[in-house]
């Protein structure tokens, strides 16, 4: 069935370090892929999305490329800030408008 | 554009009591979702509405949870009676419903429920 596997956390980085959070998926058809972020005490916010193979989503310095050949949608940022500390969720969007969620990866960025 | 509104933000009740949560989606959004998020986990879909009809409620514990979306706009989620394991954040989300897999869900701030 459809599923999302996300890199386990927690991830701890120093400010200005490079970030990668891995996400791979299993799906039939032509899903969309999403990254959501949840800051402490807040609801989920869409960070970026990609709707077809080779699309690159980007926002706030974060990027992810929809790779059909490797069934991946890894999240990257070149230089993280303390304010990026949050939980990041990878999600698969299906034709029935449902999202299949990864378990989330907690990121802590130290000054 | 106003986002998804939810109230209350926090609620503390004792087990066996009742509680209700309210959600107002983004104007014009046809699809509305209620999720339960337990601390440290991803969101779990409880119910999905398309306009005022239920699309999926397969994971809604129907012996104690109920939800309605009158007139296809606002929605309420009720728990009666509450159990300790219902302590969680209840998230409401909405989407335009115009496209299928590309439809983006927008979330409200959530209601944090504590059952004592």
Q: What is the pLDDT of residue B1?
A: 64
Tell me the chain A residues in contact with residue B50 when contact means C-beta distances shorter than 8 Å: 97
Task: State the number of CA atoms in the 13 A half-sphere of A75 facing the CB.
Answer: 30
CA-nearest of B18, B23, B4, B8 to B69 is B23
Q: What is the pLDDT of residue A94?
A: 84
Answer yes or no: do B106 and A46 touch at CB < 8 A. Answer: yes
Q: What does the alpha-carbon distance between residue B9 and residue B50 come to, in Å, rounded to a whole number?
A: 25
Answer yes or no: do B91 and A29 touch at CB < 8 A. Answer: no
Beta strand residue intervals within A60-98, DSSP E:
62-65, 75-77, 86-93
Q: What does the alpha-carbon distance between residue A68 and residue B55 come to, in Å, rounded to a whole number?
A: 29
Q: pLDDT tens, A78-97? A: 999 999 999 999 999 987 77
Tokens of A43: 């609801």
- Helix, strand, or coil (residue A34): strand
B87: phi then psi, degrees, rounded to nearest 5: -60, 120
- Calculate mean pLDDT across residues A62-82: 96
Q: Residue A14, exposed/middle/buried by CB under 10 A (0-12, 13-18, 19+)?
A: exposed
Q: pLDDT tens, A14-56? A: 999 999 999 999 998 889 999 999 998 888 999 999 999 999 9
Q: pLDDT tens, B51-76? A: 889 999 999 999 999 999 988 899 99
Exposure letters A72-109 (e unless 16+ CB within 10 A, then b): bbbbebeebeeebbbbbbbbbbbeebbbbbbbbbebeb
Tell me the chain A residues in contact with residue B108 when contact means C-beta distances shorter than 8 Å: 43
pLDDT level of residue A1 (50, 70, 90 thresholds): confident
Answer yes or no: do B55 and A96 touch at CB < 8 A. Answer: yes
Mutate which: A21, A66, A98, A100, vs B, most B CBs within 10 A: A98
**Is the pLDDT at B88 greater than 80, yes or no?**
yes
């Amino acid at each position: 069935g459809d599923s999302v596997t996300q890199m386990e956390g927690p991830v701890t980085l120093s400010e200005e370090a490079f970030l990668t959070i891995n996400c791979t998926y299993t799906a039939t058809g032509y899903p969309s892929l999403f990254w959501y972020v949840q800051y402490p005490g807040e609801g989920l916010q869409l960070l970026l999305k990609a709707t077809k193979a080779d699309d690159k989503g980007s926002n706030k310095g974060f990027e992810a490329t929809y790779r059909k050949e490797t069934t991946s949608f890894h999240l990257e940022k070149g230089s993280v800030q303390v304010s990026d500390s949050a939980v990041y969720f990878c999600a698969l969007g299906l034709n029935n408008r449902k999202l299949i969620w990864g378990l989330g990866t907690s990121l802590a960025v130290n000054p | 554009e106003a986002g998804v509104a939810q109230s209350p933000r926090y609620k503390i009740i004792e087990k066996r009591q009742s509680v209700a949560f309210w959600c107002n989606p983004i104007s014009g959004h046809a699809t509305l979702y209620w999720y339960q998020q337990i601390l440290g986990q991803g969101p779990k879909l409880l119910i999905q509405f398309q306009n005022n009809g239920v699309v999926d409620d397969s994971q809604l514990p129907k012996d104690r949870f109920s939800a309605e979306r009158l007139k296809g706009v606002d929605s309420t989620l009720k728990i009666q009676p509450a159990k300790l394991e219902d302590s969680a954040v209840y998230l409401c989300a909405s989407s335009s419903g115009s496209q299928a897999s590309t439809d983006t869900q927008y979330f409200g701030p959530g209601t944090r429920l504590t059952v004592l």
